[in-house]
Chain A
Amino acid sequence: MVNISKSFNNVEANKNITFCVNYGEIYALLGENGAGKSTLVNILSGVYRPDSGEIYVHGEKKRFGDPRDSINSGIGMIYQHFKLIENMTATENIILGQKLGHIINKKKLRKTIIDISEKYGFKVDPDKYIFDMSVGEKQNVEILKVLYRSADILILDEPTAVLTPQETEKLFKILLKMKEQGCAVILITHKLQEVMDISDRITILRNGEVVDTVQTSETNQKDLTAMMIGKSIDLSIERHPILEKEVILEIKNLCLVDRDGVKRLDNISFQVRSGEIFGIAGIAGSGQKELCESIQGLERRKKGQILFKGEDIARLTTREIFERGLRISFIPEDRLGMGLVPTMDIVDNVIMKDYYLQKGIFLDRQPARIRSEYIVKILNILTPGINYPVNRLSGGNIQKVLLGRELDSNPDFLITAYPTRGLDIGSSRRIYNELNRQKMKGIGILYVGEDLNVLLNLCDRIMVLSQGKVMGIVDASRMTNEKLGFMMLGGKE
């Protein structure tokens, strides 16, 4: 790939990216969330077209109009979220979309698939249905699918994110086999350990640009982190001292195993004081969402203790917590999908949390109207009126409606997940100021963030999560970007 650039609405996702991959090597693309990895991969697999730049495969210049062109040049893409049809067998999924003529020679097909499996050391039963398979097996089918299409350049997007350690090990064995057979493997990841273990060369991306390309044997995890994260920036967000010292929330040995048997939270313990902004840092999917939903009472599968003002709320539902007078406000990551009802107006969204406390069967919207007017005024929400559906507001204003509702209930504790995601600098700053104001009122705040600079500037302490485990709880004022990033990627303090 030479000088690839791509922008979306004036945001440059990729700036003059150049790299080359040789056959018979495992090559890693390393970068934070939003570094431009996905865009790059989508260009390679023909989903996006680059604004400028050229792609060469086998020394031949290629133009990928759509994914088919990319597949025909021998590029095989294995997505993080599998693209398999659940109620078909492995074989059926593998030949899906292939032009094989009308008659399918099942015997021959089976043999071909088993041959490929043996060549690379898979263990896949071609007649097994996808819904009967474990995550690792599904991934194997995905890989087989692209190999069957005679791909010799494989791109794997975060392949280990969903795997258990044992499955990861198996996958790596397969990848090494492929390398031996002369395939080029491109690994996209942010897990440093894996990159160090398996790759031959690494290209580091940051903010859509190539920082450097290095030989794995000549680098170490610390250097890689520094390149991924970049220098600390002072955002000059005020950080007020903590006024009260009383512990409002204490979590003891919180564990959570999800439906698929994957450990999402692994023995998490921490304390948050009132008047403190407690940051949670971590790569996306490290357990932040599960942690927030556990505290708020949505997640029911958890084990362990959640002490709120000394009371164990781990077994209570959202409403039971609320009825005990324990006010926890939660601003979820997915605003329109979870925090708000998109097609309803501001009033109906504002009334959502406490309408059921009204007496009788009828719903009185008058108090909510007054509150809506108040929220619109005080947070300066741009809307034609309080009876305007929230999904027609801009992103920043939607977030303000949610924030306004949650703060208006006079919470003792506030959980915010990525509250400034997608907002411009001005709106973000207003939200930081609002959080600080709440902090001064003595509210405990759990702030899940992704921008390390914001975390370092806004929070008092930061807990780093990696794959559901606590990597450390640190004092934000004595922390640097590099160290934080290192911990996020799985390095111990």
Chain B
Amino acid sequence: MTMLRMASRTDCSDKEAAIIRISAILLAFLFAAFFIALLGHNPLSVYSSMIEGAFGTVYRIKETIIKAIPLIITSLGISLAFKLKFWNIGAEGQIMMGAIGATFCALTLKDVPPYILLPLMGAGSIICGGIWGAIPAFFRAKFKTNETIFTLMMNYISLKFLTYLQYGPWKDPEALGFPKIQGFAQNAILPTLFGIHIGWIISLILIVIMYSFINHTKIGYEINVVGESENTARYAGINVKAIIIYTIFLSGGLCGLAGMIEVSGVDKTLSVEITHGVGYTAIITSWLSSLRAPVIAIVCILFAALVQSGTFIQMAFQIPQSAAQILQGMILFFVLGSEFFIRYKLSYIRKKKVEEL
């Protein structure tokens, strides 16, 4: 009889890890192919039309990029928290709070020129999202509360708060009783460049800033030390609690900024559907990119393409959009599963050897 032996490994190089992750994604596509075949379609033609659906025309490329922008910014925020091993599941709520902050500025300052209003909206969104993240961070640092549950619960609070605003104080009086918030005036809308709102430039800048922040600044270094080993950080004299709170403020602030870009650049108003689930999808994308800023850009565009092409194959093949969601689910399942092979080594041992052990 043979037995499987599991041993933890620390020698997995980045290259090996990347190979394992990429093969996991390929496996996910393979399994999804069976599923598509089961629905009575040719998986290859579905896949190729998915590519076409995401990148086939200029319009589709634009749509994909617009979907990728909030995903990139939110992933950057989440990856910052994950660097600290602070499992921030609250991006969804932080996006909403950011959007609320930005909308507040937009609705109250109607006569301010855009070059003043837009930065104000950005700042408002960063502060609101940041505070929303800093609350659980404070409790984690001071009382060791569980941040996963805490941030998750904060999502529901912000969702209910947003619903209240939409149905209550911020309800548009001119909407004939329909519960919607007033559309933004022209001065609160992000300008466009090459046909896409300038959120794409902001994301590119943020990627560069984040990369150098993590790798080339003192605070970035401290975040790395605290994330790897709190004890070592204490030993080196780093104020661990302060680092946790500041970093999660930044993390939440970035998510909040994503909310501002969505209200100002895409929806041009605020509604309860503002996040489109980006806060959860970004958890997947930042994990897939192993928390590295430049990789985040690529992974997020691919994920946005997946969403975009999901809509496309729905029309082209009459496949429900959930088929694309299944594919997303498969990718996540396989990649998380592959983490096991990055951390552990499996080998066969014979029964005889088992006896000897």
Please encode chain B, from 216 to 255, with 1 for each CB lying within 8 Å of some chain A CB and 0 for all others.
1111111011001101101111000000000000000000
Please encode chain A, from 327 to 370, with 1 for each CB lying within 8 Å of some chain B CB and 0 for all others.
00010101001111111100010011101101001110000000
Contacts of B234 in A (CB 8 A): 298
Expressed in whole angstroms, the minimum distance between the Cβ of A394 and any Cβ of chain B is 13
A364, closest chain B residue (CB): B216
Known: A337-B232, A392-B11. A322 touches B225 (CB 8 A): no
B10 CB within 8 Å of chain A: yes
Please encode chain B, from 194 to 225, with 1 for each CB lying within 8 Å of some chain A CB and 0 for all others.
00000000000000000000001111111011
| Set B11, B219, B236, B237: member contacting A361, Cβ < 8 A | B219
Known: A358-B218, A363-B220, A392-B10. A342 touches B228 (CB 8 A): yes
Given contact pairs A298-B234, A338-B231, A355-B221, a sample of 19 additional A-B residue pairs in the complex whose CB atoms are under 8 Å apart: A298-B235, A317-B237, A318-B235, A318-B236, A334-B231, A337-B231, A338-B232, A338-B235, A340-B232, A341-B229, A341-B232, A351-B221, A353-B237, A355-B218, A358-B218, A363-B216, A363-B218, A363-B220, A392-B11
B226, closest chain A residue (CB): A341
Could you name 18 residue pairs across A and B whose Cβ atoms are closer than 8 Å?
Answer: A298-B234, A298-B235, A318-B235, A334-B231, A338-B231, A340-B232, A344-B224, A344-B225, A344-B228, A348-B221, A351-B221, A352-B232, A361-B219, A362-B218, A363-B216, A363-B218, A363-B220, A392-B11
Known: A318-B235, A392-B10. A342 touches B229 (CB 8 A): yes
Contacts of B231 in A (CB 8 A): 334, 337-338
B228 touches A332 (CB 8 A): no
A391 CB within 8 Å of chain B: yes
Among A317, A342, A352, A355, the most chain B Cβ lie within 10 Å of the Cβ of A352
Expressed in whole angstroms, the minimum distance between the Cβ of B233 and any Cβ of chain A is 8
Among A49, A337, A338, the most chain B Cβ lie within 10 Å of the Cβ of A338
Contacts of B217 in A (CB 8 A): 361-363
Contacts of B357 in A (CB 8 A): 49
| Set A338, A356, A362: member contacting B216, Cβ < 8 A | A362
Contacts of A363 in B (CB 8 A): 216-218, 220-221
A341 touches B225 (CB 8 A): yes
A483 CB within 8 Å of chain B: no
A319 CB within 8 Å of chain B: yes
Expressed in whole angstroms, the minimum distance between the Cβ of B224 and any Cβ of chain A is 7
A338 touches B218 (CB 8 A): no
Q: In the docked arrangement, what's the CA distance between A347 and B2, Å?
A: 44
Q: In the docked arrangement, what's the CA distance between A49 and B218, Å?
A: 50
Expressed in whole angstroms, the minimum distance between the Cβ of B246 and any Cβ of chain A is 13
Contacts of B220 in A (CB 8 A): 363
**Which residues of B175-202 are within 8 A (CB) of A?**
none
Q: In the docked arrangement, what's the CA distance between A317 and B218, Å?
A: 20
**Which residues of A160-193 are within 8 A (CB) of B?**
none
Q: In the docked arrangement, what's the CA distance between A298 and B234, Å?
A: 7
Q: In the docked arrangement, what's the CA distance between A342 and B10, Å?
A: 10
B237 touches A339 (CB 8 A): no
**Which residues of B147-201 are within 8 A (CB) of A?**
none
Q: In the docked arrangement, what's the CA distance between A344 and B225, Å?
A: 9
Q: In the docked arrangement, what's the CA distance between A334 and B235, Å?
A: 11
| Set B10, B222, B235: member contacting A339, Cβ < 8 A | B235
A330 touches B235 (CB 8 A): yes
Known: A334-B231, A341-B229, A343-B228. A352 touches B236 (CB 8 A): yes
* Chain B residues within 8 Å of A, Cβ to Cβ: 10-11, 216-222, 224-225, 228-229, 231-232, 234-237, 357
Q: In the docked arrangement, what's the CA distance between A391 and B8, Å?
A: 14
Contacts of B216 in A (CB 8 A): 362-363
A361 touches B218 (CB 8 A): yes
**Which residues of A379-395 are within 8 A (CB) of B?**
391-392
Known: A342-B229, A363-B216, A392-B11. A353 touches B221 (CB 8 A): no
Contacts of B237 in A (CB 8 A): 297, 317-319, 322, 353, 356
Q: In the docked arrangement, what's the CA distance between A391 and B11, Å?
A: 9
Expressed in whole angstroms, the minimum distance between the Cβ of B71 and any Cβ of chain A is 27
Contacts of A338 in B (CB 8 A): 229, 231-232, 235
Contacts of A319 in B (CB 8 A): 237
A337 touches B218 (CB 8 A): no
Contacts of A337 in B (CB 8 A): 229, 231-232
A357, closest chain B residue (CB): B218
Contacts of B229 in A (CB 8 A): 337-338, 341-342
Expressed in whole angstroms, the minimum distance between the Cβ of A392 and any Cβ of chain B is 7
B236 touches A353 (CB 8 A): yes
Q: In the docked arrangement, what's the CA distance between A340 and B232, Å?
A: 6
Q: In the docked arrangement, what's the CA distance between A342 and B222, Å?
A: 15
Q: In the docked arrangement, what's the CA distance between A334 and B234, Å?
A: 13
B357, closest chain A residue (CB): A49
Please encode chain A, from 217 to 243, with 1 for each CB lying within 8 Å of some chain B CB and 0 for all others.
000000000000000000000000000
B215, closest chain A residue (CB): A363
Q: In the docked arrangement, what's the CA distance between A338 and B225, Å?
A: 11
Q: In the docked arrangement, what's the CA distance between A342 and B228, Å?
A: 8
Contacts of A351 in B (CB 8 A): 221
Expressed in whole angstroms, the minimum distance between the Cβ of B73 and any Cβ of chain A is 21
A323, closest chain B residue (CB): B237
Contacts of A49 in B (CB 8 A): 357
Q: In the docked arrangement, what's the CA distance between A322 and B217, Å?
A: 21
Q: In the docked arrangement, what's the CA distance between A173 and B82, Å?
A: 51
Known: A319-B237, A330-B235, A392-B10. A356 touches B228 (CB 8 A): no
Expressed in whole angstroms, the minimum distance between the Cβ of B143 and any Cβ of chain A is 14
A356, closest chain B residue (CB): B218
Q: In the docked arrangement, what's the CA distance between A330 and B236, Å?
A: 10
Q: In the docked arrangement, what's the CA distance between A361 and B217, Å?
A: 6
Q: In the docked arrangement, what's the CA distance between A338 and B233, Å?
A: 8
Q: In the docked arrangement, what's the CA distance between A338 and B224, Å?
A: 14
Expressed in whole angstroms, the minimum distance between the Cβ of B222 and any Cβ of chain A is 8
Expressed in whole angstroms, the minimum distance between the Cβ of B216 and any Cβ of chain A is 6
Q: In the docked arrangement, what's the CA distance between A330 and B228, Å?
A: 20
List 9 A-B pairs, minimum CB-CB distance, nearest first. Answer: A318-B237, A319-B237, A341-B228, A338-B231, A352-B236, A363-B218, A361-B217, A338-B235, A341-B232
Expressed in whole angstroms, the minimum distance between the Cβ of B112 and any Cβ of chain A is 31
A65, closest chain B residue (CB): B355
Q: In the docked arrangement, what's the CA distance between A351 and B219, Å?
A: 13
Contacts of B221 in A (CB 8 A): 348, 351, 355, 363
A330, closest chain B residue (CB): B235
Contacts of A341 in B (CB 8 A): 224-225, 228-229, 232
B231, closest chain A residue (CB): A338
Among B11, B220, B235, the most chain A Cβ lie within 10 Å of the Cβ of B235
